[in-house]
Amino acid sequence: MEEIQIITPEELKSKLEQGEKLELVDVREDEEVAEGMIPGAKHIRMGDIPANLDYFDKDKEYIFICRSSRRSENVCYYLQEQGYKVRNMIGGMMNWPGEIKETR
């Protein structure tokens, strides 16, 4: 199985601050996301990823985010097997140093 590419929360924050256009997908549950998300992230619950494959474009890279990076890693393995370019934010939202957007 091919290794999953990673990005640290600090690297991601830096890229966003530099204005890079990134495809962020938060795979946490609704109640977790209600506490806040990284601005610009799209919310697709982990269990809903298979039903939303038409959202993803094989020419783009997607960065997946969850609470601790375990679920997002599973999503990355799944999508990578389907031929998508993926990256996992290690440490998840527990280690996110940047601002969050309230979603309530």
**Please, is 88 exposed, middle or buried when counting C-beta atoms within 10 Å of its C-beta (0-12, 13-18, 19+)?**
buried
Tokens representing 18 are 């530099």
Question: How far apart are alpha carbons 10 and 21 in whole angstroms?
Answer: 16
Radius of gyration, alpha carbons of the chain: 13
Catalytic residues: 66
